Amino acid sequence: MNVYDSARMADVMAPLGYVSADSPAEADMVILNTCHIREKASEKVFSELGRLRMLKEERAREGRTLSVGVAGCVAQAEGEEIQRRMPHVDVVVGPQAYHRLPSLLEEAARGQAGAIDVDFSASAKFAGAGEGAARGAAAFLTIQEGCDKFCTFCVVPYTRGAEFSRPVTDILDEARRMAAHGTREITLLGQNVNAYRHGATGLGELIRRVAEIDGITRIRYTTSHPRDVDDDLVAAHRDVPQLMPFLHLPVQSGSDRILAAMNRRHTADDYRRAIGRLRNARPDLALSSDFIVGFPGETEADFAATLALAQAVGYAQAYSFKYSPRPGTPAAEMAETVAEEVKSERLERLQAVLNDMQLSFNQATIGRTVEVLFDRPGARPGQSIGRSPYMQSVHATGAARGTLASVRIDAAYNNSVSGEVVSSDPTVPFGASDGGERRITMEGIG
């Protein structure tokens, strides 16, 4: 989501003459785009702002300027504290107000210290979305923001607001512009993306509409909630060939008791049934998930249920974390905390299981030929990196950026696979910026 939001900020700054800079040292403006999901994000922001203050003071001694902004969820949650502690920050902008960056900069230039906007109005944010430079062969497209689920551990409802779904026509227009710039794969984004609904259109129908756009050969979506896996979405997995056979569906815990304490609104069996419906529709579906260990009150039996669910489902990838309290959430007030050393030991055990699953999944592709969309340069000369339909990172030589190639997999590792290009289509041309006089860099913190 923040990658997409950074691109939106670049779009709205482009008419002012800003182009991307590679580092703060080269920039006329630095924006820290932040995420508040994980522990210590705020501390990271303030630490980085301290370094930027020194850079700004150095510029001032040279008779030059440097504008500093903080965007995203930390800005939303702690805007006043940022203004109080870091008066050198020129702009504080919440995740729904990026379209106001130019006017906020004008306010700052007029001497209004700490121009701030953390309004929750989401609709204006997307005006003109996709009108900037090419996003690349694989790109993100936000269709939904906010969440109404209120899981007890999560800050998203407080930093991103209530669920908001963009109009279908706006999404399709942006997707067409992206395709015209050479985008081949679109990932539809939302904090709770499968809760998308605009009028009578849900996510399944939207996927069908995006699949009709010339040039879009791959579609993904993230992040989903088990309660919102409806029949139409399941049917899209069966019927739409552009929809990749990979799904990130967070479960968080395999214990019904802990799931209830998390206010997840589903049981472990509900989750298993959703997986079963999806796999019946698309038998080669690969799955990813999120897990939290050490949630307040978690017993060894609760953790054993999480291990059992993970082993029963079988994941191609997964993300696992120790629980950390987020200020202002109900879970932060729960008394039955789990000792840090217990959390660490459980996380180690869970990750050993998940890592074995990921390696086994990657090894099972050895000898197979898979379609790979290459979108990044590799570490070695002539090497490129792309993604398989199953979201594996694939390394190969002889495939240019923007190429969709058939690759025969000959080696597998924990986090990637490698192989030989068998055949490929022509490289897709990309649009390019024609430059400008002011440079901006955006750094992600979360």
pLDDT single digits (tens) 371-413: 999 998 888 888 999 999 999 999 999 888 888 999 999 999 9
How many angstroms separate the CA atoms of 74 and 302, rounded?
32
**Percent of the chain, pLDDT > 90?**
63
How many angstroms separate the CA atoms of 412 and 355, rounded?
13
The pLDDT confidence band at residue 124, using thresholds 50, 70 and 90, is: low
pLDDT at residue 42, rounded to an integer: 77
pLDDT digits (tens, 9 = 90+) for 267-326: 999 999 999 999 999 999 999 999 999 999 999 999 999 999 999 999 999 999 999 998
How many angstroms separate the CA atoms of 302 and 70, rounded?
39
How many angstroms separate the CA atoms of 20 and 73, rounded?
22
- Residue 134: pLDDT over 80: no
Higher pLDDT, 334 or 77: 334
How many angstroms separate the CA atoms of 441 and 186, rounded?
24
The residue behind tokens 């993306």 is 193
Which CATH fold would you assign to the domain 2-121?
Rossmann fold (3.40.50)
pTM here is 0.82
Question: Which residues are CB-neighbours of 185 under 8 A, at least 6 positions away?
Answer: 137, 138, 139, 216, 217, 218, 219, 220, 244, 373, 387
The pLDDT confidence band at residue 22, using thresholds 50, 70 and 90, is: confident
pLDDT at residue 433, rounded to an integer: 35
pLDDT digits (tens, 9 = 90+) for 195-223: 999 999 999 999 999 999 999 999 999 99
In Å, what is the CA distance from 238 to each residue of 1, 141, 284?
A: 26, 22, 11
- Nearest alpha carbon to residue 308 among 355, 361, 272, 264: 272
The pLDDT confidence band at residue 426, using thresholds 50, 70 and 90, is: low
pLDDT digits (tens, 9 = 90+) for 237-272: 999 999 999 999 999 999 999 999 999 999 999 999
pLDDT digits (tens, 9 = 90+) for 28-69: 999 999 887 666 777 888 899 999 999 999 999 999 989 999
409 forms beta bridges with: 419
Domain boundaries, the chain: 2-121, 124-363, 369-424
**Contact criterion met (CB below 8 Å) for 132 and 6:** no
Burial of 53 (0-12, 13-18, 19+ CB in 10 A): middle
- Residue 427: pLDDT over 50: no
**Contact criterion met (CB below 8 Å) for 143 and 166:** yes
How many angstroms separate the CA atoms of 341 and 344, rounded?
5
Average pLDDT, the chain: 89
How many angstroms separate the CA atoms of 251 and 266, rounded?
9
- Nearest alpha carbon to residue 29 among 70, 83, 66: 66
pLDDT at residue 357, rounded to an integer: 98
Q: Is there a shared CATH topology between the 2-121 domain and the 124-363 domain?
A: no
- HSE (side-chain half, CA atoms, 13 Å) at 100: 21
Which CATH fold would you assign to the domain 369-424?
OB fold (Dihydrolipoamide Acetyltransferase, E2P) (2.40.50)
pLDDT at residue 440, rounded to an integer: 61
So what's the architecture of 124-363 in CATH?
Alpha-Beta Horseshoe (3.80)
- ∠ Cα 236 394 377 (to 5°): 115
